[in-house]
Amino acid sequence: DIVVIGSLNMDMVVRSGRAPEAGETVIGDSFVLSAGGKGANQAVAAARLGSTVRLVGKVGADAFGSELLEIIKQEGIDSEYLSVSGSRSTGVASIVLEESGENRIIVVPGANMELTADDIQLLEPVITGAKLLVMQLEMDLHMTEQAVGIAHASGIPVILNPAPAQRLSDELLSHVTYLTPNETEAGILSGVQVDNLDSAREAAAVLLRKGVQNVIMTLGAQGALIVNSQGQIHVPGFPVKAVVDTVAAGDSFNGALAQQLTAGRSLEEAVTFANAVGALAVGKAGAIPSLPTLAEVEQFLER
66 binds ligand ADP (CB under 6 A): no
Closest approach, Cβ 277 to ligand ADP, in A, equals: 7
Q: How many residues bind ligand ADP (CB under 6 A)?
A: 19
Distance CA 160, CA 148 (A): 8
Distances in Å between the alpha carbon of 177 and those of 20, 161, 193, 209, 284? Answer: 45, 11, 23, 13, 30
Piece of 43-51, 78-86, 207-215, 233-241 that binds ligand ADP (CB under 6 A) = 233-241
| Residue with Cβ nearer ligand ADP (7 or 85) | 7
Closest distance between ligand ADP and the C-beta of residue 36, in Å?
Answer: 13
The residues near 7 (Cβ < 8 Å, ≥ 6 apart) are 37, 38, 39, 40, 57, 91, 109, 112, 136, 138, 139
Question: Does residue number 224 form part of the binding site for ligand ADP (CB under 6 A)?
Answer: yes
Residues 177-216, mask of contacts with ligand ADP (x by CB under 6 A): -----x----------------------------------
> Is residue 240 near ligand ADP by the rule CB under 6 A?
yes
221 annotated among ligand-binding-site residues:
yes
H/E segment holding residue 150: helix 141-153
Contact status: 105 vs ligand ADP (CB under 6 A): no
The one catalytic residue among 62, 78, 140, 251: 251
Q: Which is nearer to ligand ADP, 64 or 273 (CB)?
A: 273
Q: Is 249 in the site for ligand ADP (CB under 6 A)?
A: yes
Q: For 143-147, which contacts have Cβ atoms below 8 Å and span 24 or more sequence positions?
A: 143/115, 143/116, 143/117, 143/119, 144/5, 144/172, 145/117, 145/169, 145/171, 145/172, 146/117, 146/120, 146/121, 147/5, 147/120, 147/123
**Positive or negative, the Cα torsion across 241, 245, 249, 250?**
positive
- Residue 178 Cβ, how far from ligand ADP at the closest point, in Å? 13
Secondary structure (3-state) at 33: strand
C-alpha span between 65 and 116 (Å, rounded)? 19
275 annotated as belonging to a binding site for a ligand = yes
| DSSP β-bridge partners for residue 179 | 160, 215
Say if residue 193 carries a ligand binding annotation: no
110 is in an annotated binding site: no
138 is in an annotated binding site: yes
Which span (28-36, 84-92, 197-205, 273-281) binds ligand ADP, by CB under 6 A? 273-281
Using the minimum distance from each CB to ligand ADP, give the nearer residue, 113 or 287.
287
Residues 283 and 242 sit within 8 Å (Cβ to Cβ):
yes
By CB under 6 A, tell whether 218 contacts ligand ADP: yes
**50 in a known ligand binding site:** no
Q: Is 29 labeled as catalytic in the residue annotation?
A: no
Tell me the C-alpha distance between 20 and 28, whole Å.
Answer: 10
Closest CA to 73 of 40, 119, 33: 40
**Residue numbers at the binding site for ligand ADP (CB under 6 A):** 182, 218-221, 223-224, 237-238, 240, 243, 246, 249-250, 253, 275, 278-279, 282
Active site residues: 251
Residues comprising the binding site for K(+)? Answer: 245, 247, 281, 284, 286, 290
